[in-house]
Amino acid sequence: MSDAVEALLKAHEHTISAIEAFSTLAAVIVSLALAHRATIADRTRFVAKLQISTLMHPSIKPYPRFVVVSVTNVGNLPLQMPLGFFYWRVPFRRRKWVVLQ
């Protein structure tokens, strides 16, 4: 029986080598895909929403308007955004803007 197995392996030597090469390549591709997915999962991500709000009260005329930016961290890592991260500019306006944190 061992002679039959040896003859079979000898006859399909190149097929076995091709299967080995394919399995090694598949293992490398799966490893790279898992590493890429882990990198994406650990990336810092955030969602920012911008809204213009008006404070309406009878004692205050004209009604002041505010720009409200809401930033939410949706990633796994902590997020730090200093106030200088935002560039505050309104085109064609020469008014002073108060920035509150």
Closest by CA to 85, choosing from 42, 48, 39, is: 48
Q: Count how many Cα atoms sit within 13 Å of the Cα of residue 96 in the half-sphere of its side chain.
A: 1
Q: Where are the domains of the chain?
A: 2-41, 46-83
Torsion of CA 98, 99, 100, 101, to 10 degrees: -170
Write down the pTM of the prediction: 0.46
Phi and psi (nearest 5°) for 25? -65, -40
Report strand pairing: 65-73 vs 46-54. antiparallel
Residues 22-69 have pLDDT tens digits of: 999 999 999 999 999 888 777 788 888 888 888 888 888 888 888 788
